[in-house]
Amino acid sequence: MRNIIYVFFLLLLSQAGKAQDPRFAQFYAAPDQLNPALNVVYDGQMRFILNYRDQWSSVLNEVPFRTVAAQINYRMNISRNDYLSVGFNGLQDEAGISRLRRSKGHLNLAFMKYLGGGKKRNYYLVAGAKSGIGQHALEWNNLWFSQQYDAANEVVNTSLPSGEVETRTSRIFPDFSAGLLWYMISDKNSLYLGGAIYHLNTPDFSIFEGSIDRLKRKYTTYLGGQIRTSKYFSLLPAVALLIQGPATDINIGTNFRYSTGDQNDLALRMGGWLHITGKEKNGYSVEAFTFTTMLEMKAWTIGLSYDINTSTLTPATNSKGAFETSFIYTIQEKKRKPRVICPKF
């Protein structure tokens, strides 16, 4: 039974290899993966973010799908209410028994422009872009092929030739992405709308000699805001849409935020999200329910989430999905408080 599950996930991996980017359920805590413009939208001078996701470990044991992303940004005030941010972000994703690794590193740049407003509300327009490199690789020694099956002894003999053209890593490829964000914020509420295009140059990421496999453009768009219901409570609803090739991902839900309202700025968030997926001609289905909690402590924000699987893989996974963590550390400006007020995501 275990071998059957492995074969199934290898097939699943072959589909994932057709240029689908890894994703985070806590998309609001992984801003660079949603829109490069978000790299300047935070209250502070420097920000460090670390995201980790572990999926299918209940089935694949030592070889689950793992994704790690990290970023650092430095924000500069270039005029009264306008800001510029520069930074670096990296991501590595490892998937399945073949240990397919997708590694990327980018330099990012984002600019925030104050559009105007007054005492009740203010408006901002933000643009961002990133440029970097990527590379894909896998472990051929972890795989076997039909020509390596010894029918006489009914065993797999990996010393036999596989008949495959083995290339362990792809060529290093360039990668470019860009996005825009608009938001409005007041003392009680906020509203934001943004979108981005990833892999503008559709780079070739093939790991096989003599073949071309292009990374499809990924289009992201999202809408959300903050609705304050009292001095201490607020809602943070959002919806994020990601389209890449024939695949569509939708995340929709809300976090409930409780803040102590004192100078310690201590807050707790809890929420629930639906992960909906769809492919051309196959319709849409709910793949998972995600439950989240986040703790805000001055400079630190720590997030935890867990996916309950509701897809066709439920019998094999016993509804167990993915575990995810996020860590955000923000250093405030020393000279003065920032003039720009940023929305809560």
Digit-coded pLDDT (tens) for 113-124: 999 887 788 999
Distance CA 337, CA 343 (A): 16
pLDDT, mean of residues 11-36: 75
pLDDT at 231: 86
Share of the chain above pLDDT 70, in %: 75
Between 131 and 278, the higher pLDDT residue: 131
Q: Give the chain's mean pLDDT.
A: 83
Tokens 């201490």 identify what position? 232
Q: What is the pLDDT of residues 227-274, one digit of tens each?
A: 999 888 999 999 999 999 888 999 999 999 999 876 567 899 999 999
Which pLDDT belongs to residue 9? 44
pLDDT of residue 343: 84
Q: What is the pLDDT of residue 241?
A: 95
pTM to 2 decimals?
0.84
Residue 323 burial (C-beta neighbours within 10 Å; 0-12, 13-18, 19+): middle
What is the residue type of 339?
A: R
Q: Which of 92-101, 226-235, 262-271, 327-336 has the lowest mean pLDDT?
A: 92-101
Can you give the pLDDT at residue 15? 41
Q: Are 131 and 174 in contact (CB under 8 A)?
A: yes
The domain segmentation of the chain, as residue ranges, is: 2-331
CATH code given to domain 2-331 = 2.40.160.40
Q: What pLDDT does residue 95 have? A: 76
**Does the pLDDT of residue 135 top 50, yes or no?**
yes
Residues 6+ away with beta carbon under 8 Å from 189: 225, 226, 227, 228
pLDDT value, residue 48 = 97
Grouping H, G, I as helix, E, B as strand and the rest as coil, residue 185 is: strand
The CB-side HSE value for 218 (13 A sphere, CA atoms) comes to 24
Mean pLDDT, residues 50-79 taken together: 83
C-alpha distances out from residue 340 to 29, 44, 45, 71, 301, Å: 20, 10, 12, 22, 20
Look at 99-103, 266-270, 304-308 and tell me which has the smallest mean pLDDT. 99-103
CB 168 within 8 A of CB 137: yes
